[in-house]
């Protein structure tokens, strides 16, 4: 039994009332609840109200949203690894070489190392936060309302914070004296950012296509 438009809207309104802010989770929940309601109405001959009440009884929307975000974040980790492998076997390896070359030239210039380290760490954090803030101005596609998009920057921010903090670990004090330490160190950080941007761009294209389809 196919649900009427107003019944679908009723389901959507219920999901919004549950505080579900991500569009992909909303769509997933609408499909799930609608299928369950249709099944109850056709198989058990229930009214829409009874079938709907029965369907939402066992569903915790916020738990589903949290699990969806976790699954999306794990997917980003896997995609970053795939991007790294793909980059090492493609022309994009030149981008990694370029990043290393720039870092090497900076740390072999007359600039004080401590100031350069602070500057590059600040730039790495800005490289995560600024694009995310800029996405707030995209009122048409609203990429910030998709778990797949937000999880990319959550993962990237985690990596950048961990990597930035790793430099302060005492175990690395001896390595810091090596001339290639900082070029390699910041190449790792900015390669992570570069690959995350690549994933974010692909996801943004999917969001644009989804919005156009809707």
Here the tokens at position 53 are 């009440």
Same domain, 185 and 129: yes
Residue 101 has a pLDDT of: 95
Same domain, 72 and 156: yes
Same domain, 86 and 155: yes
Residue 149, Cβ density class (10 Å: 0-12 exposed, 13-18 middle, ≥19 buried): buried
Split at pLDDT 50, 70, 90, the class of 46 is confident
Q: For the segment 47-83, what is each residue's pLDDT rounded down to a tens digit?
A: 888 888 988 887 888 888 899 999 999 999 999 999 9
Here the tokens at position 59 are 């569903």
* Range(s) of the domain holding residue 165: 68-213
| Alpha carbon of residue 72 to chain centroid | 7
Per-residue pLDDT at 1 exceeds 70: no
Domain C-terminal end among 59, 76, 102: 59
What is residue 138's three-state secondary structure? Answer: coil
Q: How many CB atoms lie within 10 A of CB 96?
A: 18
Contact 80, 199 (CB under 8 A): yes
Same domain, 41 and 89: no
In the chain, how many domains are there? 2
Residue 213 has a pLDDT of: 63
Same domain, 36 and 75: no
Same domain, 164 and 197: yes
Same domain, 50 and 146: no
Same domain, 74 and 127: yes
Residue 201 has a pLDDT of: 94
| Alpha carbon of residue 82 to chain centroid | 15
């Amino acid at each position: 039994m196919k649900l009427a438009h107003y019944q679908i809207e009723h389901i959507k309104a219920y999901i919004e009332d549950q505080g579900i802010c991500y569009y992909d989770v909303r769509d997933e929940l609408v499909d799930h609840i609608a299928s369950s309601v249709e099944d109850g109405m056709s198989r058990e001959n229930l009214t829409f109200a009874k079938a709907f009440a029965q369907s939402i009884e066992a569903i915790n929307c916020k738990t589903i949203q949290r699990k969806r975000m976790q699954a999306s974040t794990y997917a980003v980790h896997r995609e970053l690894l795939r991007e790294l492998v793909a980059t090492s076997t493609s022309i994009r390896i030149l981008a990694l070489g370029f990043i290393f070359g720039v870092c090497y030239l900076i740390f072999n210039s007359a600039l004080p190392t401590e100031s350069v380290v602070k500057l590059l760490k600040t730039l790495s954090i800005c490289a995560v936060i600024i694009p995310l803030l800029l996405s707030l101005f995209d009122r048409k596609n609203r990429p910030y309302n998709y778990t797949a998009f937000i999880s990319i920057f959550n993962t990237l921010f985690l990596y950048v914070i961990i990597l930035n903090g790793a430099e302060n670990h005492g175990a690395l004090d001896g390595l810091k004296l090596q001339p290639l330490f900082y070029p390699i160190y910041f190449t790792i950080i900015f390669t992570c950012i570069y690959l995350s941007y690549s994933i974010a761009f692909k996801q943004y294209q999917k969001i644009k296509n989804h919005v156009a389809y809707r």
